[in-house]
Amino acid sequence: MNVAVIPAYCEEKTIGEVAKRTKKFVDRVIVVDDCSTDNTFEEAKKACETVVRHEKNKGKAQALKTGFELIGDCDVVVILDGDLQHLPEEIPALLKCIEDGADLCIGSRFLGDSNCMPLSNRISNKIASTLLSVLAGQKVTDSQSGFRAIKREALEQLELPADRYAVEHIMILEAAKKGFKITETPISCIYGGEKSHINPAKDTANVIYHILRFILR
């Protein structure tokens, strides 16, 4: 059984569609609303059965952890965002990587056409991905991608941080540290007109800080 976990914050315009389309490719969908100030929770409830809401905004890492606590005895966990920057129709490609022997498969925009990505995001992603590749000993081209699939047995062995967007990078380092096989598959690069919740400069500094903490602990 495969389960999708979708962290969401103020995604009322897209979360329903994301959840409905995701249900076509997995057995169960879990949406975690991180205390949105709009109708994200209500729209998610219309689209899938398992929707939980944080009473306080805790960040993406905590939203994911909440979702992971609800996955049950599944085989694979698919992670994607609720803003339609990740196409649910590309979930089968991630699952195929797992079927072929990967423990963690990351959807990479840099294996496809990454030109739609804002320059500041491309630069920060390249810096983080190069550093992660060296530290992990495995090639990673899109360390900031939140679109990924991971075996439940592998996920349960990872120690993930509580701090917001650094979770994607620490997941890679933890997986490499535990000896898990990491692969990537091309995904579409989509950037809409909505304002991103990510500040490239701030979050790159945050990522480097947490990577250093991971190394020095």
Alpha-carbon separation of residue 57 from 31, 32, 36 (angstroms): 15, 11, 8
Predicted confidence at residue 161, as pLDDT, reads 73
Kindly list the domain boundaries of the chain, sorted by start residue.
2-216
DSSP 174-196: HHHHTT--EEEEE------SSPP
Element containing residue 29 per DSSP (H, E):
strand 28-33
Predicted confidence at residue 167, as pLDDT, reads 86
Neighbours of 69 (CB within 10 A): 12
d(CA 68, CA 17): 22
Output the pTM of the full model: 0.91
Predicted confidence at residue 31, as pLDDT, reads 99
pLDDT in tens, 70-80: 999 999 999 99
| Confidence band of 211 (pLDDT split at 50, 70, 90) | confident
Residue 174 phi/psi, 5-degree rounding, is: -65, -45
29, 50 contact by CB (below 8 A): yes
Predicted confidence at residue 114, as pLDDT, reads 62
Predicted confidence at residue 189, as pLDDT, reads 85
In the numeric block, which tokens belong to residue 162? 């509580």
pLDDT in tens, 144-167: 899 999 999 999 999 887 666 578
In the numeric block, which tokens belong to residue 211? 């990577």
pLDDT in tens, 9-63: 999 999 999 999 999 999 999 999 999 999 999 999 999 999 999 999 999 999 9
Predicted confidence at residue 148, as pLDDT, reads 98
Output the CA torsion sign for 205, 165, 130, 125. negative
For domain 2-216, the CATH class is alpha beta
pLDDT in tens, 79-137: 999 999 999 999 999 999 999 999 999 999 999 766 677 787 888 888 889 989 999 99
Nearest to 46 by CA among 10, 18, 84: 18
Alpha helices in the chain (DSSP H): 15-22, 40-47, 60-68, 91-99, 119-136, 152-155, 167-177, 200-216
Predicted confidence at residue 119, as pLDDT, reads 82
In the numeric block, which tokens belong to residue 146? 């939140």
Predicted confidence at residue 99, as pLDDT, reads 98
Predicted confidence at residue 117, as pLDDT, reads 77
Please compute the mean of the pLDDT values over residues 175-183 and round it to a whole number: 96
In the numeric block, which tokens belong to residue 61? 């890492």
Please compute the mean of the pLDDT values over residues 208-215 and round it to a whole number: 76
113, 52 contact by CB (below 8 A): no
Is residue 66 scored above 60 in pLDDT?
yes
d(CA 20, CA 212): 39
158, 103 contact by CB (below 8 A): no
